[in-house]
Amino acid sequence: MLHVDLDQFIAAVEVLRRPELAGRPVIVGGRGDPTERAVVSTASYEARAFGVGSGMPLRIAARKVPDAVILPVDQEAYLAASETVMAALRAQPGATVQVLGWDEAFVGIKTENPESYARQVQAAVLERTLLQCSVGIGDTLVRAKVATGFAKPAGVFRLTAGNWLGVLGSRPTKDLWGVGSKVSGRLAKLGIKTVAELASTDPQHLIPEFGPKMGPWYAELGRGDGASVVDDTPWVARGHSRETTFQRDLTDPAQVDDAVRELTARVLEDVLAEGRPVIGLTLKIRYAPFVTTTRARKIPDTSDRSEILAGALDLAAGIEAGRPIRLLGLRAEMAMPDDARQGHTPTRGGW
């Protein structure tokens, strides 16, 4: 199986539209105004060389690279480019394509020479879109995904059971797909700092810290094991979310109430179009200067707007009074159809 990952996708799409930006540091985020509150969506390799990364506040990114070209997010352009890329992947002989997002997908194939097939894929994407991609080859989805990191930019790399520990064994656990800095910190407290140490850990020893599901799952990640089937069943969203970063902190309860009502209305537009009832709500609150917390609750299955709004307002009632708020977000989780594809990528709840 292959993992195809487009290189600096959003920035690359922008450079295609503006060829004069080639070779320059390009940062995409928000409305393209670093004086506003927004975060970096992506940065070109030239900007990343200065330490700019996704999720960084746009104003900090602008300080790091004063001569960067800062552009607003254009989701429609990225979606159109993504659809063209995925069509190019599906056109490859014998390919089963499992889309992971705008800029990445698994491709299942049968071939005696996966490296040659990977280069064929790269050539097809380049010819169709003028975009470069990196390809990881693996005997599990996890190994293919991790292999892509060693292929960037525009290269091909293979990881299998045979070379997994040789390549990754001495690396920190946070280098694994699905293990971030917080989980790696918790693993370190158990004396597990490297991928090899995690791979050799008895899964039962992780259960007290991570629980009966996640403990064995992290041990499996350490070995690079897991699913080895590419599934092209269309993915069904588990939920929809919206969030707003306020240019001025909200401090008035009436402002917060209005903001929650507006967020709920926007989320409901997405959810009700799916035709599935809402079963849970999560409210994200980011207090000034940058402290984020969430409040969640399950609700009885409903498609009633007033009941969903009532649930959102009930969550908002737990917001700390008088504490300035810089961001609010709302996610509505929906009931899943019986024939939905089961997530088998390394995230806590699928995608």
- Residues identified as active-site: 104
Reading the block at residue 154, the tokens are 């525009």
Burial class (CB in 10 A: 0-12, 13-18, 19+), 252: exposed
Query: CA geometry: angle at 107 spanning 106 and 108, to 5°?
Result: 120
Sign of CA dihedral 266, 309, 296, 270: negative
Q: Please give the C-alpha separations between residue 4 and each of 117, 145, 231, 238, in angstroms, as whole numbers.
A: 12, 8, 15, 24
Let me know: does 198 contact 192? Beta carbons within 8 Å.
yes
Cα separation of 143 and 139, whole Å? 7
Cα separation of 133 and 147, whole Å? 13
**Secondary structure (DSSP) of 288-307:** TTTEEEEEEEEEEEE--HHH
Phi, then psi, of 106 in degrees rounded to 5: -90, 145
